[in-house]
């Protein structure tokens, strides 16, 4: 889906009180490969939630290296994960390397989860999450651990004041940016 269609669809889901106040945006640099794009959500012309590709890969790599180099962090690898690596490599990798590959993949996933929890999302993540938002129910979006799904659901017109009131206790446990959009929705 093109960005303009995605933006139009997202804005069509905005609750009436936030129409014109919440704005979705994306920038891309087609001819500059070292300049990554970014996505953002603005409220009253202020950039509130920024997702940029530029430093995400570096931070992801640093987080991955920190996990690898910390002797206190033990990554458990199941036989199923090793078997999946064996299938992906079509049995051409020696047995002792399979566990190393499976461990590295799991560390990479953990690093991405940590960055996502810190809301260091990228433009590519933004489009994936938005497409997921369009295909799942609003309840799944609200209950999800994904920060962006929570934000998109909170500003959605399908979420009413009664449902928001019932979620007050859950919102105290969420990421600060999710709490911000929860308060924004209540202020209208």
Q: What phi, psi does 136 have (nearest 5°)?
A: -105, 170
Query: Which region among 11-25, 87-101, 111-125, 132-146 has the lowest average model confidence (pLDDT)?
Result: 111-125
pLDDT of res. 12: 92
Higher pLDDT, 37 or 16: 16
45: left (phi over 0), alpha (psi -120 to 50) or beta: left
What is the H or E stretch that residue 65 is in? helix 56-69
β-pair type (38-43, 46-52): antiparallel
Q: Where are the alpha helices (DSSP H) in 71-157?
A: 79-88, 95-117, 123-135, 138-143, 147-154
Distance between CA atoms of residues 85 and 98, nearest Å: 6
pLDDT of res. 155: 93
Please check the confidence at residue 112 and state whether its pLDDT lies above 80.
no
pLDDT of res. 116: 61
Instruction: Give the model's confidence band at 35: pLDDT under 50 very low, under 70 low, under 90 confident, else very high.
Output: low
Percent of residues, the chain, with pLDDT higher than 70: 81
Average pLDDT over residues 38-66: 72
Higher pLDDT, 29 or 93: 93
Q: What is the pTM of this model?
A: 0.63
- C-alpha distances (whole Å) from 82 to each of 78, 92, 95, 107, 165 are 7, 13, 9, 14, 45
Distance between CA atoms of residues 50 and 26, nearest Å: 10
DSSP single-letter state for residue 156: B
Q: What is the mean pLDDT of the chain?
A: 80
Please check the confidence at residue 135 and state whether its pLDDT lies above 90.
yes
> Residue 28 corresponds to which tokens in the numbers above?
């891309």
Please check the confidence at residue 36 and state whether its pLDDT lies above 80.
no
User: Residue 19, SS3?
Assistant: strand
pLDDT of res. 123: 57
pLDDT of res. 48: 81
Closest CA to 53 of 38, 42, 63: 38
Distance between CA atoms of residues 9 and 38, nearest Å: 19
């Amino acid at each position: 889906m093109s960005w303009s269609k995605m933006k139009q669809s997202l804005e069509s889901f905005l609750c009436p009180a936030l129409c014109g106040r919440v704005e979705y945006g994306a920038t891309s640099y087609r001819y500059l490969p070292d300049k990554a794009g970014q996505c953002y959500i603005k409220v009253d012309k202020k950039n509130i939630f920024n997702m940029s590709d530029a430093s995400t890969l570096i931070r992801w790599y640093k987080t991955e290296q920190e996990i690898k180099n910390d002797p206190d962090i033990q990554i458990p690898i199941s036989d199923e994960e090793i078997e999946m690596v064996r299938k992906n490599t079509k049995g051409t990798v020696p047995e002792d390397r399979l566990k190393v590959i499976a461990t590295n993949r799991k560390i990479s996933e953990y690093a991405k989860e940590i960055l996502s929890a810190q809301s260091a999302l990228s433009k590519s993540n933004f489009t994936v999450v938005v497409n997921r938002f369009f295909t799942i129910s609003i309840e799944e979006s609200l209950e999800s651990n994904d920060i962006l799904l929570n934000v998109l659901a909170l500003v959605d017109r399908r979420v009413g004041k009664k449902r928001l009131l019932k979620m007050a206790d859950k919102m105290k446990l969420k990421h600060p940016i999710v709490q911000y959009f929860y308060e924004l929705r209540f202020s209208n």
